[in-house]
Chain A
Amino acid sequence: MLAFIAKRLAIAVPTLLLLVVFSFLLMHAAPGGPFTSERGLPPAVLANLNAKYGLDQPMWRQMTTYVWGIVSHFDFGPSFIYKDRTVNEIIAQGFPVTLTYGSISFVVAVLTGVGLGVSAAIWHNSWLDYLAVGISIGAQVLPNFVMAPILVLVFTLWLGWLPGGGWEGGQWQYVIMPVVALSTSFMASIARITRSSMLEVMNSNHIRTAKAKGLPMRKVILRHALKPAMLPVVSYLGPAFVTMITGSVVVDMYFSTGGIGKAFVDSALNRDYAVMMGVTILVGTLTVLFNLLVDVLYAWIDPKIRY
């Protein structure tokens, strides 16, 4: 098992380095420096600014300083636009929010998706099955940026039940719509995957044996069917995580929840490269770690994998 994790880490580390180097090079390929403005600063001021941010150093030195700052004490350096704030502060402000509604959405999507998929497979060709299939097909074309305006239209403007945005420290009425908007399409995908893999498992030999020896249906499903049926779902969780973290950008923008997505888009519009890179690298790290977790989980569930 340890060797397996080490092998995965051997891929994860170059991935992250590649991401850091790539975004660093991109940032430097951008035309104009971060302090180029229409008014134009006096050369002395510009030289001082460049010295403060280390921009007068040769590029490889800048890059090693940047990478070393991240590796040694998780420091993404100062923001280029907000002179008194560091990238860490900006991220630290938004990250707990994103983490809160992100993890709730993830749990909601997995639980409802698996529940819907399993019940659709057990009562195959019943009304429940058709409902589940209908929902999962429908939700395929309802990504977060379509769900968000529809939810606001219905629950805020027409019914007036929920506030149309804001976070307010994460009170429940502010959390509901972001979670629903973010989790719907994943819930649908997970339900579809679970249903088809569960159907396949339910027709396999070991389930027939379990039924034949007289186990009650509940036990057959919980003890024998669920675990092998979860394999495709688990391998979907990695990509789902990436798409979900991307979707959080839309949620932050539309519901003004103030997570890291907001910091990212604001910095993209302001050309605050330092913040953009910081968020990109943070998200990349999370993704890589999560994929590692998924791989380990997969290896643990699937008896066929020997490491």
Chain B
Amino acid sequence: MVIDSTRMKSLADRLAVDEVKGRSLWADARKRFLKNKAAVGGLIVLLLVLVFAAFGGTIAQYSNEELDFSIMGQIAEKGGPSLANGHYFGTDDLGRDLFARTVQGTQISLAVGIVGSAIAVLVGTFYGAFAGYVGGRTDNIMMRTVDILMSIPYMFVLILLLVVFGRSIIMLFVGIGLISWLDMSRIVRGQTLSLKHKEFIEAAEATGVSRLIIIRRHIVPNLLGVVAVYATLLVPLMILTESFISFLGLGVQEPLTSWGALISEGSGTLNYGTYWQLAFPLFFFVITLFAFFFVGDGLRDALDPKDR
């Protein structure tokens, strides 16, 4: 039997061509995310705010602690935003450069938001995944604990903590971290319950993989989408919490500052006509929160295809 070598060759060629590349879940999600204009806009704004926080300090003409004696006492007349004297955002009530202060406040507020959210991701994911996967009485006790903790007016307890142990940024992180994971653990538990009886988990169980490894290797990676969405939406909530406490004058202490503290200072001096002291911090606060909410919504649409 003669083999048609040319046809054989073309067959071989065709087989050698790479398979059409499958699109992963993440590639699909990225595509959907990039189509969402509000989410992309939010992401750009966030990047700009990050750049502002990271490099704003190098543009500032003054440090955040320096008092400008040429302006002191005449803040309302001379302290306004001006390019000429280098106070791009004006000065605060004591004659400190508001640009430098806003940069610093942005750094702290973002740090609080991101750290709070990161704690929520770490603790909440494992707590929720463990409770959901193990189930039974353990689950019941763990989730009742979360219920109890959630019905405590945490802001009051947080302020109590800050007053008793001294107001420091570390204490603020601890306090915010203590409460931020509760919601996350509930969401993660719900997701875990729905994953638990899937075939691949059964397969892992059948081959004798231990519980902790199943949680780490099989459950948690499948939760990442939900966790990413919720973590993004949690950052603005943490920023709001911190700003709330700082607004009351119970948060970060001088010379450190945050958006909440700056908004508080700015709103305290409204009577003197120094509107910029409120306007600049408020502007950064509002656009950042907006951006986080839009990015979070975009991520949710992108990662959760059934919810559309």
Contacts and interface: CB of A to CB of B under 8 A. Distances in A.
Interface in B233-261: 236, 240, 243-244, 247-250, 260
Interface string A8-38: 0001101100110011001101100000000
Interface stretch (A68-76, A85-93, A114-122, A147-155): A147-155
Interface string B148-160: 1001110111011
Given A26-B161, A140-B293, A149-B266, A284 B244 contact: no
Contacts of B165: 29-30
B147 A145 contact: no
Quick one: which of A143, A145, A148, A265 has the most chain B CB within 10 A? A145
A26 B160 contact: yes
Given A11-B147, A14-B148, A19-B152, A146 B244 contact: no
A291 interface: yes
A288 B163 CA distance: 24
A146 B282 contact: yes
A300 B179 CA distance: 30
Interface stretch (A46-54, A103-111, A217-225, A246-254): A246-254
Quick one: which of B164, B250, B286 has the most chain A CB within 10 A? B164
Contacts of B267: 148-149, 152, 254
A137 B290 CA distance: 8
Nearest to B163: A268
Contacts of A29: 164-165
B227 interface: no
Interface stretch (B70-78, B117-125, B218-226, B270-278): B270-278
A152 B270 contact: yes
B153 A283 contact: yes
Chain B binding site: helix, strand, loop or mixed by DSSP? Answer: helix
A186 to B, nearest CB: 14
A175 interface: no
B263 interface: yes
A284 B282 CA distance: 31
Contacts of A173: none
Given A11-B147, A265-B250, A280-B156, A141 B286 contact: yes
Interface in B175-198: none
Contact of B151 (A15, A27, A148, A280): A15
Interface residues of B, number: 39
A268 B263 contact: no
B289 interface: yes
A279 B290 CA distance: 33
B263 A149 contact: yes
A11 B144 contact: yes
A112 interface: no
Contacts of A143: 240, 243-244
Interface string B26-37: 000000000000
Given A29-B164, A146-B282, A264 B156 contact: yes
A180 interface: no
A269 interface: yes
B280 interface: no
A238 B164 CA distance: 28
A229 interface: no
Contacts of A264: 156, 159
B107 interface: no
A283 B275 CA distance: 35
A242 B147 contact: no
Quick one: which of B247, B260, B275, B290 has the most chain A CB within 10 A? B247
A27 to B, nearest CB: 7
A26 B275 CA distance: 40
B99 interface: no
Contacts of B289: 140-141
B264 interface: yes
Nearest to A18: B148
Contacts of B164: 26-27, 29-30, 273
Contacts of B282: 146
Given A145-B247, A149-B266, A269-B249, A23 B151 contact: no
A5 interface: no
B89 interface: no
Given A143-B244, A153-B270, A249-B248, A284 B153 contact: yes
Interface in A249-283: 249-250, 253-254, 264-265, 268-269, 271, 273, 276-277, 279-280, 283
A287 interface: yes
B289 to A, nearest CB: 4
A49 to B, nearest CB: 20
Given A146-B286, A265-B249, A284-B153, 18 more contacts: A11-B144, A12-B151, A15-B148, A15-B152, A23-B157, A30-B163, A30-B165, A137-B293, A143-B244, A145-B260, A148-B267, A238-B151, A246-B244, A254-B267, A268-B159, A268-B250, A276-B156, A283-B153
List the 3 shortest-distance A-B pairs measured between CB atoms, nearest first. Answer: A149-B267, A141-B289, A246-B155
5 contacts: A137-B293, A141-B289, A146-B263, A264-B156, A268-B162
